[in-house]
């Protein structure tokens, strides 16, 4: 015996449901649009602040450099005058200051190159190469000594 089939209830008005979904999608898109517009405005404001800060820092750095150069020149003049007061001739005083300045410059360059060598990340490259070869060979990477 076959049971009689029940007829399904008719669906609600499709037009109203579709309009509600469409309205929710429009509201969501509007909210996203407003959020993106606000983020865009915030990004532009941050960019303006960064530009102003960069310009101000460049001006301050130029001022500091100018004052440093003026101070160094004044110290050299005072050193030359002091050496002359001690009895050295003018050319010897200037030569002594030039030699001292050249030695200080050489020391500064040597220290700068030593510092920049650390920025090449040679130790990191060695560790990465060691780890890469260890994983390619199937064994775990070596632990650094403690």
Flag whether 135 is in a domain.
yes
Cα–Cα dist 133/129, whole Å = 6
Last residue of a domain, one of 30, 48, 76: 76
Q: Judge whether 81 lies within some domain.
A: no
Predicted confidence (pLDDT) per residue in 28-43, tens digit: 999 999 999 999 999 8
Using CA atoms, how far apart are residues 82 and 39, in angstroms rounded to an integer? 63
Model pLDDT for residues 76-93, shown as the tens digit of each residue = 999 999 999 999 999 999
User: Containing domain of residue 66, as a range?
Assistant: 15-76
Could you give the number of structural domains in the chain?
2
Q: Does residue 39 lie in a domain region?
A: yes
Q: What is the pLDDT of residues 121-131, one digit of tens each?
A: 777 777 777 87
Residue ending a domain, among 76, 104, 122, is 76
Domain shared by 28 and 61, yes or no: yes
Whether residue 112 sits in one domain with residue 61: no
Residues 34 and 57 in one domain: yes
Q: Both 19 and 44 in a single domain? A: yes
- pTM attached to this predicted model: 0.45
């Amino acid at each position: 015996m076959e049971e009689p089939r029940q007829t399904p209830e008719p669906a609600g008005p499709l037009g109203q449901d579709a309009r509600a979904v469409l309205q929710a999608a429009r509201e969501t898109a509007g909210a996203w649009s407003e959020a993106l517009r606000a983020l865009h405005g915030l990004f532009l404001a941050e960019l303006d602040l960064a530009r102003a800060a960069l310009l101000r820092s460049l001006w301050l750095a130029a001022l500091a450099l100018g004052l440093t150069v003026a101070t160094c020149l004044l110290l050299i003049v005072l050193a030359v005058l002091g050496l002359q007061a001690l009895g050295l001739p003018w050319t010897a005083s200037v030569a002594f200051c030039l030699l001292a300045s050249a030695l200080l410059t050489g020391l500064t360059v040597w220290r700068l190159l030593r510092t920049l060598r650390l920025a090449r990340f040679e130790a990191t490259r060695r560790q990465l190469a060691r780890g890469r070869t260890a994983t390619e060979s199937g064994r775990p990477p070596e632990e650094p000594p403690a």
